[in-house]
Structure 1
Amino acid sequence: MKTALLAFALLLPMLAHAQGADIFKGADLALGAKLIADNQCVQCHTRQVGGDGSAIYRPQGRIHNAGLLRGMVENCSTQLNLQLFPEEVTAIAAVLNRDFYKFK
């Protein structure tokens, strides 16, 4: 069992890396923008990094593909107990990709 978990843990970053921005295809951008506003994402990011909060985007070497971006949004949802549905996480990540990351 431990071997299977280790193998999965090692494979997960490769799977995330393999995903292009096509994971955002069909995402509801209006919903994503509304959720960002409703959950005060900008205010939280501002508290974390200062300024207008945009310095949190594209931290050096941390998020360099669409899959990892979606994963970070999922992590925020989990850490803050937002209880977002998968399509809501995707919608938020799609807005962030459109406005900041621009992954293809």
Structure 2
Amino acid sequence: MKTALLALALFMPALALAQGADIFKGADLALGARLIAENKCVQCHASKVGGDGSAIYRPKGRINNAGLLRGMVENCSTQLNLQLFPEEVTAIAAVLNRDHYKFR
């Protein structure tokens, strides 16, 4: 069992790196935009980086593919105890990809 968990832990980062923007296919963009507004994501980002908060997007070397973007949204959900469903995380990440990252 420990070996299986270790293998999974080692495999997951590689899976995130391998994912292209096709992980956003079929995402509900309207839902993502609504959740961004309801959860005050822009205000939170502005409080962290100043200005309008847009400086948080594409920090050098951190988010460089779609899988990592979705993972960062999942991390925000966990850290802030938003209790988002997986499809909601994907919807938010899809909106961020559309508006800021533009991964293909």
TM-score of the pair, normalised by structure 2 = 0.94
- Which residue is 1:81 aligned to? 81
The whole-number CA distance in structure 2 between the counterparts of 1:61 and 1:2 is: 32
The whole-number CA distance in structure 1 between the counterparts of 2:38 and 2:16 is: 27
Instruction: Count residues with an aligned counterpart.
Output: 104
- Which residue is 2:10 aligned to? 10
Counterpart code for 2:51 = G
**2:103 partner SS:** coil
- Which residue is 1:67 aligned to? 67
Greater CA deviation, 1-10 or 15-24? 1-10
Q: Give unpaired runs (5+ residues) of structure 2.
A: none
Instruction: Give the root-mean-square deviation of aligned CA atoms.
Output: 1.1
State yes or no: 1:93 paired with 2:99. Answer: no
The whole-number CA distance in structure 2 between the counterparts of 1:54 and 1:4 is: 40
The whole-number CA distance in structure 2 between the counterparts of 1:2 and 1:48 is: 38
The whole-number CA distance in structure 2 between the counterparts of 1:10 and 1:58 is: 25
The whole-number CA distance in structure 1 between the counterparts of 2:8 and 2:102 is: 28
Runs of 4+ in 1 over 2 A off after TM superposition: 1-10
- Which residue is 2:33 aligned to? 33
